[in-house]
Amino acid sequence: MADLPHSVDVRASIRFRFRGRDIELGDFAPRMTLLDWLRIERGASGTKEGCNEGDCGACTVVLVRRAQGAPNFTPVNACILLLGQIDGAELVTIEDLSSAPGALHPVQDSMVTHHGAQCGFCTPGIVMSLFAQHESKPQTLDADAVCDQLAGNLCRCTGYRPIIEAALAAHVVPPQGRWPGTEAMHAGDMLIGDDDQFFAAPASIPSLAALYAAHPDATLVAGATDVGLWLTKNLQDIRKIIWLGRVAGLDAIEAHADGLHIGAGVTLAALAPHLGALHPDLGEVMRRFGSTQVRSSGTIGGNLANGSPIGDLAPCLIALGAQLVLQKGDVLRHLPLEDFFLAYRKQDRLPGEFVHSVIMPPLAAEQAFRAYKVSKRIDEDISSVLAAFCFDVAQGRIGRARIAFGGMAGTPARARNAEGFAVGIRLQDESTWASALSALAFDFQPLSDQRASAAYRALVARNLLTKALIELRGESPATTRIAPPREP
């Protein structure tokens, strides 16, 4: 049996609530997805499989967990969520919405009245996303909020107008409140399987550290919005899984003198308001990060540890001067975030070492920050280029500069040459900008891929630096932005 030395009481099953019953499951393959369990094992085919990679939302189901005494309705993509990840939740699928035969949930009823479905393939997923929003009782609801909620739900034939109208009309009907959710259970570690193949969910940081040290070949899974695709698309045979979703303290956000300490397990949804409060551009980056479903599951730790050159958080956090905290055994190691990324998909992380947290310093009064995400679509799209700038500005002159890009190299990286030439820029004198703009060509030799050509990326990088300088010079964002930022 795999070693969990800190455990007093190791549970060998997952527990969740489903169709009004408490379920305990101890016999399943670690890599089984929730969608496969629903459709294949339970024959619950109301939840659809479209892309099987988190993009289309046809498989959306809702997890209800209680937080501060109230149910929290979280829409997730069942296709890339592992079955083990629903431990401790109430699972709600499309089959659960009607209270009696023929009695529709207000969202379903409104979809019928407003002709919100044609072929209907997307409809269960769309209804589940709108159901989560409806039962969360937002005080007000407008078309923007509905669009944000549906960013991860693709409809190819009805078109979104009647769907949005249906959501807005349903809002006047009170939530049904039939899903109380379940309380989070951090007590005791969980391990299903044996030394060769397991799904483990340690309940504390010491348990996680001990288990990962004993099994450095295991795959850490936080939200599985990346790992899920390794299973469904690359068909990887992952046998040992350590899920981080039950580790007490790994999901904490704490304010300290040196900034916010953000646990690696903090979801993107929980992180978004904190980043938005730091700077509206960060709020906008988060609003456009994946979709509601992806942000519900995905974490800051997964986004950084994954080492993607086009991950959205890394350039933003590098420009802010964030520190990464890694842990192996009981030893913590701090390093500047930019030093973590060594080469394409190669990070400075030892076997058995995990991302513990990120320290994000506050913005000082003299610091001006900007972040821009450029992608082919506004919603649910990976960046072609993401630029983040943090300048110390005094009397219209740039002092210190931190500039970071995603999508321009094999790793997220600082533009050190451009930073050097940015020092001394006088914002009102465009002739002083030229050296920094030209220096970008020495910082990066980007690649061409399906998202963008090398020439496009180089031009966009230059234009984004120009845009930041224009905005800092005092130009109205109305002249520089396609659309004003919306609150996440």
Ligand X SMILES: Cc1cc2nc3c(=O)[nH]c(=O)nc-3n(C[C@H](O)[C@H](O)[C@H](O)COP(=O)(O)OP(=O)(O)OC[C@H]3O[C@@H](n4cnc5c(N)ncnc54)[C@H](O)[C@@H]3O)c2cc1C
Asked if residues 321 and 341 have their Cβ atoms less than 8 Å apart, the reply is: no
Among 120, 188, 410, 420, binds ligand FES (CB under 6 A): 120
> Pick from ligand X, ligand FES, none: which does 223 bind, CB < 5 to 8 A by kind?
ligand X
Minimum separation from the CB atom of position 294 to ligand X (A): 5
Does position 49 interact with ligand X (CB under 6 A)? The reply is no
Spacing of C-alpha 274 from chain mean position: 14
Give the interface size with ligand X as a residue count (CB under 6 A): 31
> Pick from ligand X, ligand FES, none: which does 417 bind, CB < 5 to 8 A by kind?
none
Does position 317 interact with ligand X (CB under 6 A)? The reply is no
Contacts of 8 (CB under 8 A, 6+ apart): 188
Spacing of C-alpha 445 from chain mean position: 28
Asked if residues 386 and 406 have their Cβ atoms less than 8 Å apart, the reply is: yes
CA-to-CA distance for 226 and 315, rounded, in angstroms?
Answer: 18
Asked if residues 360 and 260 have their Cβ atoms less than 8 Å apart, the reply is: yes
Does position 125 interact with ligand X (CB under 6 A)? The reply is no
Contacts of 24 (CB under 8 A, 6+ apart): 13, 14, 15
H-type helices in 72-219, by residue range?
A: 106-113, 123-135, 143-149, 160-170, 205-214
Does position 296 interact with ligand X (CB under 6 A)? The reply is no
Minimum separation from the CB atom of position 271 to ligand X (A): 10
Minimum separation from the CB atom of position 224 to ligand FES (A): 12
Q: Which of residues 154-183 bind ligand FES (CB under 6 A)?
A: 155-158
Does position 71 interact with ligand FES (CB under 6 A)? The reply is no
Minimum separation from the CB atom of position 284 to ligand X (A): 12
Does position 211 interact with ligand X (CB under 6 A)? The reply is no
Q: Which amino acid is at 61?
A: V
Among 341, 354, 372, 391, binds ligand X (CB under 6 A): 354
The residue whose two tokens read 């905005």 is 471
Asked if residues 217 and 240 have their Cβ atoms less than 8 Å apart, the reply is: yes
272 or 439, CB closer to ligand X? Answer: 272
> Pick from ligand FES, ligand X, none: which does 294 bind, CB < 5 to 8 A by kind?
ligand X
Among 30, 57, 309, 352, binds ligand FES (CB under 6 A): 57
Positive or negative: CA dihedral 375, 379, 382, 385? positive
Among 87, 90, 165, 226, binds ligand X (CB under 6 A): 226
Among 50, 228, 311, 446, binds ligand FES (CB under 6 A): 50
Does position 220 interact with ligand X (CB under 6 A)? The reply is yes
Q: Provide the token pair at 174.
A: 């009170």
Give the interface size with ligand FES as a residue count (CB under 6 A): 23
Stretch that binds ligand X, among 94-102, 292-300, 421-429, 452-460 (CB under 6 A): 292-300
CA-to-CA distance for 439 and 433, rounded, in angstroms?
Answer: 10
Integer angstrom CA distances of residue 466 from 217, 395, 398, 473: 45, 19, 14, 10
Does position 221 interact with ligand X (CB under 6 A)? The reply is yes
Reduced to 3 states (helix: H, G, I; strand: E, B; else coil), residue 437 is helix
Site residues, ligand X (CB under 6 A): 54-55, 219-227, 244, 264, 268, 289-290, 294, 297-299, 301-303, 305-306, 311-312, 354-355, 380, 382
Site residues, ligand FES (CB under 6 A): 49-52, 54-59, 77, 79, 117-123, 155-158
